[in-house]
Amino acid sequence: MINIKEMLSSLSSLMSVSGFERYDKDRLLSLISPYFDAYREDAVGNFIFIKKANNEDAPLMLIDTHYDEIGMLVTDIKDNGFLSVTNVGGLDTRIMPAAEVTIYGKEMLFGVVDSTPPHLKDPKASKKLPKVSELLIDTGYTKETLSKIVSIGTPVSFYPRISELEGGYLVGKGLDNKACVAAAVSAIAPLNADSLRYNICLNLSTREEIGLVGGKVGAYHIDPDYAIVLDVNLAAAPDAPKHRTVKPGAGPSVSLSAVTDRALTHHIIDRAKRAEIPYQTVVETVSTGTNADVIALSRCGVPTAVVSVPLKGMHTYTEAVSLDDIEKTARLLREILTSEVPK
Amino acid sequence: MLNTLKKLIKISGVSGREHNLAEFIKTLLADYCDRIERDTLGNLIAFKRGTAEKPKKVMLAAHMDEIGFMTTFIEDSGLIRFGTIGGINFNAAAYSEVVFEQGIKGVLIPDKSVAPADYKATKFYVDIGARNKKEAERRVKIGDCFSLSPSLIRLCGERIAGRPFDDRIGCAILIDIAKKLKSCPDDVYFVFTVQEEVGCRGSKTAAFTIAPDYAIAYDVTSTGDMPGADPMAIKVGEGAAIKIKDASVICDNRLVSLMQKTAKENKIPFQNEILTAGGTDTSSMQVAGNGAVAGALSVPTRYIHSGVELLDIKDAKACSALTLALLANGLD
């Protein structure tokens, strides 16, 4: 069995800002390839891992877990040696002042986002949040030196650091969606060809955070019979509305939505009940905000369901996920892959 | 046409939940086509073979789904909270009767402290008369869909008001065409699509499967003939609306010209439609797969997405007659 904590810690440390997912490709492959029969890539850089069932005619199941993470790109190197950036995906500037970042230039550089101390702040100054374009990253280097290492377009990510919260929570950056990558790999790893009811394509899809790109392209050429999208979901926090969140530590959530396939979704819920795996349902009326929205409409249509891992603090450098939720998600996925969808 | 419409509006079909409606339409069409089946997303596709040696493929599409609501949360009090599916006009929906797909009825009520200008989904609830959460949960589950109750009233002449005419009137037109179509050169696919109201989804996959040469959508369109309406040269009762453009598509002008010419030759009343907001299945059929020559025929309708959508059955009949004339000669 895979040690989920170790796997997720390793995955979190990999740089995978949307569009730059290849950066740590070798380390990614060494983590995941051992558990699969084959591997291929496509035009948009999707990492596709294949595991075959004994029955060649078994239906093809696409499991889509996006691998990219939000981040930034350098837009300018200022005279004083500071870097300005633009966002890749949904970046919340509330959390940016004083954040620690890594700049992936010719060398990896450490940086901190500039923040004005309260002593120096004009009390009458605007309380408005800074725009992304107003953020400045301090590296300590002069412009001259920095220009040799960093160029416009260099990706920047939150500083990779894993810590823990009481109660079995792992905390770090990029757990959206590497928590689900860990769940998928740990579900599939122990399965052998005899037990699989499907031929499996696990797509660690790229560029989800900037428009569901990898999910869409992957579904088109993989052309699956079924698809399950694993993505994180907003976990309840003290100040968040109850009906829009899921409970952390209460198991995976299954999406009820117009875009997801009801028969496949009911099958998943049925397997969870039979195997006594705690689960929750979440209503996402029209669309799920995940790759499922494009996979379901690929070609002639693909029966698609969404299973999610609750995540606290989404799109921050202190995203928190329950290891127990990941383990339960993996168990549920294993139940699905070893049973047939009723006709 | 009116009798078919009366039957079609009685069956619930909120986007994503069109199953029962599809099965009903299937029974209506079984005797009038060569093949009828449902696809992965739930589109109903009825096929009628053409007589030409190398027939072209014509796809006629009307959407089965209607706007509605999905249950998200049940309060301890037994009141039901929901999310919206499609473009709901809450000013028009407040204090209306609703019906769940399993037949349970309720009323849709705004929070008393909220002014009509601030109406939105989170300020509304459904009261099914349950005394508490437990009683409500016996009847309604999270994820269950509901909609404003169907209705149909006869007004002056052949005008009617009620819901959901968007787009059961399109479905009624397609059924009328299928029943009246004798033989024609082209292969005709009558497609009753799903999930139009949430992004023209069904027509995308159906058009990919069928790969039509020509595609025509049948849907309602807005009008400019009421107080406060945006300027628009479309009136209820003035004939089939031949779509030239809406916010999602510019129709193929070869097909538009053919429609106009055929209408004139057959003395079928028509008007030219430019809709500045809103879209139809036309757009997704135009660009699916290798693409298609795409257009649309619309039924001018006042008060769309309310409980009292108003249209003239004569306009729907004109859409049907014009299509039959087009198909008789072949679209090529």
* pLDDT per residue as tens digits for the range A323-332: 999 999 999 9
- Whether B49 and B180 share a structural domain: yes
- Whether A236 and A252 share a structural domain: yes
Size of interface A-B (CB pairs under 8 A): 68
In a domain, B20, yes or no: yes
Q: Which residues does A93 contact at the CB level (< 8 Å), separation at least 6?
A: A129, A130, A131, A132, A135
* Look-up of token digits 């698809």: A227
- Whether A78 and A63 share a structural domain: no
* pLDDT per residue as tens digits for the range A109-123: 999 999 877 777 777
User: Got the DSSP string for A155-176?
Assistant: EEEE----EEETTTEEEES-HH
CA distance A86 to A103: 13
In a domain, B155, yes or no: no
Burial of A336 (0-12, 13-18, 19+ CB in 10 A): buried
Q: Give the nearest partner residue to A299 out of B14, B198, B205, using CB atoms.
A: B205
Residue contact A300–B195, C-beta within 8 A: no
In a domain, A98, yes or no: yes
| The last residue of a domain, from among A158, A185, A210 | A158
* pLDDT per residue as tens digits for the range A57-114: 999 999 999 999 999 999 999 988 899 999 999 999 999 999 999 999 999 999 999 9
In a domain, B159, yes or no: no
Residue A340 has pLDDT above 90, yes or no: yes
Mean pLDDT by 10 residues, chain B (332 residues): 97 96 97 95 97 96 98 95 96 96 96 95 96 97 96 97 97 98 95 96 96 97 93 94 94 96 97 91 93 97 97 98 96 86
In a domain, B305, yes or no: yes
pLDDT value of position B126: 98
* pLDDT per residue as tens digits for the range A33-45: 999 999 999 999 9
Residue B159 · residue B313 · CB < 8 Å: yes
CA distance A245 to A112: 32
Residue A216 · residue A77 · CB < 8 Å: no
- Whether A25 and A77 share a structural domain: no
Catalytic residue among B18, B66, B196, B309: B196
Written as one letter, the residue type at B195 is: Q
Give me the domain span that covers residue A328.
Answer: 4-69+173-337
Task: Compare all CA atoms of chain A with the CA of B67 and give the residue at the minimum distance.
Answer: A286
B132: domain CATH number?
A: 2.40.30.40
Task: Compare all CA atoms of chain A with the CA of B41 and give the residue at the minimum distance.
Answer: A301
Mean model confidence pLDDT for chain A: 95
Residue B11 · residue B66 · CB < 8 Å: no
DSSP label at B50?
A: -
Give the strand pairing for B293-302 and B270-274: unpaired
- Whether A113 and A140 share a structural domain: yes
Catalytic site includes residue B196? yes
Residue A168 has pLDDT above 90, yes or no: yes
As a residue count, chain B comes to: 332
A97: domain CATH number?
A: 2.40.30.40
- Whether B321 and B212 share a structural domain: yes
pLDDT value of position A238: 84
Q: What is the ipTM of this complex?
A: 0.86
Count the domains in chain A: 2
CA distance B77 to B198: 31
In a domain, A343, yes or no: no
- Whether A45 and A103 share a structural domain: no
Give me the domain span that covers residue B170.
Answer: 2-66+164-329
Mutate to test the interface with A, among B17, B37, B38, B40 (most CBs of A within 10 A): B40
* pLDDT per residue as tens digits for the range A234-283: 998 888 877 778 999 999 999 999 999 999 999 999 999 999 999 999 99
B230: domain CATH number?
A: 3.40.630.10
